[in-house]
Structure 1
């Protein structure tokens, strides 16, 4: 039996015929990924698939196959009316379809045989914040979705790839840095000691320059404290070079309060409410050059 991927065993790839000639669809079998409703090896794990021309279809010279319709990859049969075996690697976990059509020497295709199979998940687990800063590192943890993982490779959107080694338990941490604000996708896959690549996890997240605001005395949007009870608020930068913060209450842009930052870009201030109620606050960071964060952090003080 011929083992090939996208290569003719004899002749050339047949041209498409101008008029279709009825050809029966081929049969498709796979030891690793049978069409049996059960779950099988996993995303990134290759399997062999054998295509066989229907009985009596002696004009069949090969097969088109792929995960889209119409399939675009041609493989030649081992002889007219024969079969071919290819190595195919599913890239996504879950239900998968492989479309396969027989083709004769005039380029006529049969109807598709749709080989339906289920692929186990091998994608790594990614524990990452839903929001990061811009230009500052954010710690992300990777955990294996398959055995024998020795490294993880990640990229942000379509950016460059970075590979980090896994520890003995198969996990790893990385500090990702996002250059631009907005929505992004973190693409992550693992690799085993034998070079087997997993499926790709692709969680989305947002990068923002808005500083972080925290208070144990008056947690965000939680009724706390009371009139005359002070609260300490801690500010953390989400972009490099922050030297001060400015905050406003109730979007009163004409009455800002400026708070200088420490050498590490952090700051804190104390606010003492004079009455019960709701105090919406907006907080921005500023750099030494006067550039203000493109977004502010909304924080809601609720005083009992």
Structure 2
């Protein structure tokens, strides 16, 4: 009797589980999974037209009369609806991949009460059309920095760029590499996003390059290059200072982290300046250099520069 009760209990659980599953599963099974075809972006493992270039995609219910339309999109589950041309028919949409590399278009058939089919994944590969971007890894703040843009597709007539999610700026393309003076308004880490446009209005994929914006002045010396052994005791070095923010009228620097003993250097009309330093002995001399504006405001970031005397 115990064995029979045990078997009965197992069967009862099995019946309950079976009864709880089919409602959604059977509804989905009533809707046929669509086929997806595309002349521009077939699912064939090869590379095709390119980021920013549209393609036509046809969804077909294969004659399943329950299907009234399709959901599609590049997210799972697909969220954009398009009606079939007739029950059990097909629909054709335009989809534009925004980036090069592997891409997926998710598509599901749907019936009149909202039941979806199993989702079809159309997998394809997108060639690169993004422009090539060159530029500094660090820029100033509020002053221009030169970046270069080179085409990744034919017939490019302009480039458009934006810093992070800021406003867009468009510049005309020139032969070869186009240069743009990009001004970054805020300190910190940024991404420059760049895309090109052809004479017929086709937009490329979007390239991105990251950099840091700092108001620390630039310091350079041929006598004592930064962090390299040079000069010697009694050998005077000349250090050139270049502003990295607007309105610089002078600089202040400290040696050996002695912040109680600043040395002030006035700047010329262009914000540039220089100073000399003559070490008494061999060794390591760390400098910290800041810029100043007319109202006495000091740059938020200082430039660390390391003099190593032979």
Query: Could you state the TM-score of these two structures normalised by the residue count of structure 2?
Result: 0.90
Q: Secondary structure at the match of 1:203?
A: strand
Q: Distance in 2 between matches of 1:293 and 1:180?
A: 13
Contact 1:100 1:113 in 2 (8 A): yes
Equivalent residue for 1:245? Answer: 251
Q: Secondary structure at the match of 1:202?
A: strand
Matches within 5 A, 1:265-284: 265-284=271-290
Q: Distance in 1 between matches of 2:43 and 2:304?
A: 53
Q: Distance in 1 between matches of 2:38 and 2:180?
A: 38
Any idea what the Cα deviations from partners look like across 1:154-206, whole Å, max 9, x if unmatched? 11111111110011x25321111111111111111000000000000111111
Equivalent residue for 1:40? Answer: 48
Contact 2:28 2:118 in 1 (8 A): no
Query: Could you state the TM-score of these two structures normalised by the residue count of structure 1?
Result: 0.92
Are 1:287 and 2:293 counterparts? Answer: yes
Contact 2:239 2:275 in 1 (8 A): yes
Deviation (angstroms), 1:287: 0.4
Equivalent residue for 1:133? Answer: 140
Among 31, 42, 47, which residue is 2:39 paired with? 31
Matches within 5 A, 1:253-264: 253-264=259-270
In terms of Rg, which structure is larger?
2
Contact 2:63 2:89 in 1 (8 A): no
Deviation (angstroms), 1:56: 5.0
Are 1:159 and 2:166 counterparts? Answer: yes
Q: How many residues are treated as equivalent by the alignment?
A: 285
Q: Tell me how large the CA RMSD over aligned residues is.
A: 1.1
Q: Distance in 1 between matches of 2:279 and 2:172?
A: 51
Equivalent residue for 1:82? Answer: 89
Q: Which has the larger displacement, 170-179 or 135-144?
A: 170-179
Which 4+ residue blocks in structure 1 deviate beyond 3 angstroms? 18-21
Among 107, 127, 132, which residue is 1:100 paired with? 107
Equivalent residue for 1:120? Answer: 127
Q: Distance in 2 between matches of 1:280 and 1:170?
A: 42
Equivalent residue for 2:12? Answer: none
Contact 1:125 1:145 in 2 (8 A): yes
Q: Distance in 1 between matches of 2:147 and 2:37?
A: 41
Any idea what the Cα deviations from partners look like across 1:212-256, whole Å, max 9, x if unmatched? 000111111111111111111000000011111011112111011
Contact 1:148 1:170 in 2 (8 A): no
Structure 2, unpaired ranges of 5+:
1-22
Equivalent residue for 1:3? Answer: none
Among 224, 234, 239, which residue is 2:230 paired with? 224
Contact 1:149 1:170 in 2 (8 A): no
Q: Secondary structure at the match of 1:31?
A: coil
Any idea what the Cα deviations from partners look like across 1:100-145, whole Å, max 9, x if unmatched? 0010111101111111111011111111111111111111111000
Q: Distance in 2 between matches of 1:251 and 1:82?
A: 77
Deviation (angstroms), 1:24: 2.9
